[in-house]
Amino acid sequence: MTESAPAVGAPKSRIAYILLAWFLGFLGIHNFYSGHKKHGFIKLGLLVACGIGLIVNPIWSIIEMITVTKDADGVNFN
């Protein structure tokens, strides 16, 4: 039995990630784009469950916009 490396998709656009984070970051859409679904669901939960998401999510999105350079598979954005 041979083990193969997990399939990795094409690199995602860093510009698209930044634009999604800037305009729709409070919803966590950029997290879904990059494959970080857990973070996306947490942001949606904060927004829906309590209004604190309206304050926390934009700040969190700006930090992610600056610091995240790879998608969930570990592939660098291009």
In a domain, 13, yes or no: no
In a domain, 75, yes or no: no
pLDDT tens column, 1-50: 555 555 567 899 999 999 999 999 999 999 999 999 999 999 998 888 87
Query: How many domains are contained in the chain?
Result: 1
The domain of 33 spans 27-67
In a domain, 45, yes or no: yes
In a domain, 14, yes or no: no
Q: Give dist(CA 38, CA 57) in Å, integer.
A: 14
In a domain, 12, yes or no: no
User: Residue 3 — left, alpha, or beta (φ > 0 → left; ψ -120 to 50 → alpha)?
Assistant: beta
In a domain, 35, yes or no: yes
Q: Give dist(CA 49, CA 23) in Å, integer.
A: 21
pLDDT for 18? 96
In a domain, 72, yes or no: no
pLDDT for 41? 94
Judge if pTM exceeds 0.95.
no
In a domain, 5, yes or no: no
